Amino acid sequence: MAKYLVIVESPAKAKTIGRYLGKDFKIAASVGHIRDLPAATLAVDIRNGYKPIYINMRGKEKIIKELKQLSKEADFVYIATDPDREGEAIAWHIAKTLNIDLNTKCRITFNEITKNAVKNAIESPRTIDINLFNAQQARRVLDRLVGYELSPLLWQKIRKGLSAGRVQSVATKIVMDRDAEIDSFVPEEYWLVNALITPSGKKHEFKARFYGVNDGSKINKVKLSDKKSADEVISKVGKEDFVATSVKKGKRQRNPFPPFTTSTLQQEASKRLGFSSKKTMSVAQQLYEGVEITGHGQNALVSYIRTDSVRISDEAVKFARSYIEERYGKEYLPKTSRSYSNKNSSQDAHEAIRPTHFEFPPESIKSSLHTDQYKLYKLIWERFISSQMASVNLDTVSLDLTANGQVFRTQGETVTFPGFLAVYEDVNEETTENPDDENTKVKLPEINEGDVLKNLGVTGEQKHTLPPPYYTEATLIKALEENGIGRPSTYAPTISTILERDYVKKEGRLIKITELGKLVTDMLAGNFKEIVDVSFTADMEEKLDDVESGKTDWVQVMDSFYPNFHKQIIEAGKSIEKVKFEDEHTGETCPKCNKGELLIKSGRFGKFIACSNFPECDYTDNIKVKASGSHCPLCGSELFIKQAKKRRNKTFYVCAKEGSDKDCEFISWDLPADDKKCETCGSYMVYKTFRGKKYLKCSNKDCQTNAKKTKS
């Protein structure tokens, strides 16, 4: 019989910790929360200091029974849930359920699941942090009151199945405001004038862009807003050669990025790996709790994944420097170790996200990880290692080239030492921002002041200013973080919620507002300004931080918000007219009653087809598959697009005759191209995509055109 019981949240975490503690310890998992507010009622006693009424969660009866039995058999119970508000709340509820005195030093935490970290935690337990718990409790009660009072109003005035919340409603408003900004954007015409130039007697050609006019004493920047002004510049330059009137050479350094926080991990995983924030956190959780490594057992590979800190431990820095010197050489190692500071002290509770087992470089354990785990682990590893590497050294040059008083400018940049870029390359977020607004850095030949350069031609190009880009998951998370909306643990569930509610939609990587999202957000903005106000929501987050630090009582936070909010709910229930939500027309007659039109309606679980004669006619049907625009290469029938059940973002193509009397078995992951045959084997061609560009490929895997080219 074990002397000590250690309770964690997940079986994977339990298995990992079990490797580090001896036979005197029994490890058990609560599998997340075991108590919560009941779903069927408000369960908050508003008149009694907003006292929440918790119950044991449905489905957790067996786990609770086992934990009670194990705690009776043990001499002492340690609660080792995650080191954050949610983890503290789980610990508090476990203690309450098992009748553990809250003044007992039963709470242990660790930032990483390693042997030293776990043993050190066992040696220095503490009491449950009531302030940390109250911060979570305040958020839970606040969200319950908002959700349970606002949602029925939305059901009554718009339709059933809708929801609202402090963070999700603000996030939706941020997306809607950006979309409105894009819709109202009026493009402005402007012109670029570029000169193609080469040093006399040399073949090296490069471009320079018109910048302004030299009046003899200074250079005045000139904006070309129409064709006439562009033509004037071109005319003045004519065929005259250019003179290098200014050559500024310099050296510049670029420092590495800090290691990951939750937010930056989600952003980079979106940009580099195409992961949704939900997927990123799911895979990161697996890496944190532990993965079975061949020959080494269960090991946790990264530190705690919910953090807004960029601090890293001295031990981790020491390893990184040793690894860099051994793998890349001394020149890639800065003279002194790099340290990164947080914006405020409240962020310093945890370290940044980093590897925990430095003996496991990504390539060495690739076979033990599934593809997504490997990709994310490699990303975390490389970001951490690069954060301790030397800076990038750059040689820069800025040229002013003048012809007949018209000044053209170009900039060059050469990497003379790659530094951290040897590990962590730059990747820019894809946006619709105009790349012509900045001079492109080009490779330039050696040029000195006074040199004459040959004019190979000057051309003008019409451009128009572009609107701000639509949000992606990466840029929306960045916006939430910059505005102080939510906390690291809330970004992924917030975005998932507004997507599931159909308030926003994804088109590729772009996030756009839906008509339903506009309708709900406009109603909230018109009647509950605070709910969709960025500054109010950010201020509430700061108040919750003050509860965590013990500066503010959580009941006072509730008092500052709820009475006025409840008053607005009552007024809105009386004043808001019911919104008529327009159904989509199909133009098809109901096959059951032959009278009504089939309409596309929106319900709690998505869109469906129903008869317009409801309730007289109760005909309903699922949305039919979409037409692809191409035809079956076997029988010529139309091809439909279907959604893969286990791969949410993956579609495939089937023949319209699939499952009919004249069954056609055609199915393909790739869309066939109509009337296009392979010139080599005669098979039908399919569309493929590589780096965003579509191209044609033969569908026959054995065709010579698909054979890998070998070196002769």
Strand partners, 79: 7, 107
Buried b or exposed e, range 679-699, using 16+ CB within 10 angstroms: eeeebbbbeeeeeeeeeebbb
* Alpha-carbon span 242 to 686, nearest angstrom: 51
Kindly state the tokens that stand for 228. Answer: 């006439």
- The answer for residues whose C-beta is within 8 angstroms of residue 130's C-beta and 6 or more apart is 92, 102
593 closest CA partner among 610, 609, 617, 614: 617
* Alpha-carbon span 415 to 294, nearest angstrom: 40
540 closest CA partner among 145, 48, 88: 145
* Alpha-carbon span 681 to 649, nearest angstrom: 32
Indicate which residue of 78, 211, 304, 562 is catalytic: 304
50 closest CA partner among 140, 132, 130: 140
Q: Tokens 């690069």 map to which residue?
A: 386
430 exposed, middle or buried (CB, 10 Å; 0-12, 13-18, 19+)?
middle
CA geometry: angle 213, 219, 220, nearest 5 deg: 65
- The answer for residues whose C-beta is within 8 angstroms of residue 316's C-beta and 6 or more apart is 351, 354, 358, 384
Written in H, E and C, the secondary structure of 363-426 is HHHHHHCCHHHHHHHHHHHHHHHHHCCCCEEEEEEEEEEEECCEEEEEEEEEEEECHHHHCCCC
* Alpha-carbon span 249 to 394, nearest angstrom: 11
CB 244 within 8 A of CB 451: yes
For 327, phi then psi, to 5°, come to -85, -35
Q: For residue 455, which amino acid is it?
A: N
Question: Is 304 an active-site residue?
Answer: yes
CB 315 within 8 A of CB 337: no
For 544, phi then psi, to 5°, come to -65, -35
Pairing outcome for strands 4-8 and 25-29: parallel
Quickly list H helices, 447-514.
473-482, 491-500
* Alpha-carbon span 284 to 502, nearest angstrom: 26
CA atoms within a 13 Å half-sphere pointing along the CA-CB vector of 436: 16
Hey, is 202 helix, strand or coil?
Answer: coil
CB 679 within 8 A of CB 661: no
Please report the DSSP string for 214-226 in residue order: E-SS-EEE----S
- The answer for residues whose C-beta is within 8 angstroms of residue 202's C-beta and 6 or more apart is 445
Q: Measured between alpha carbons, how far apart are the two ends of the chain, in Å?
A: 69
Residues serving a catalytic function are 304
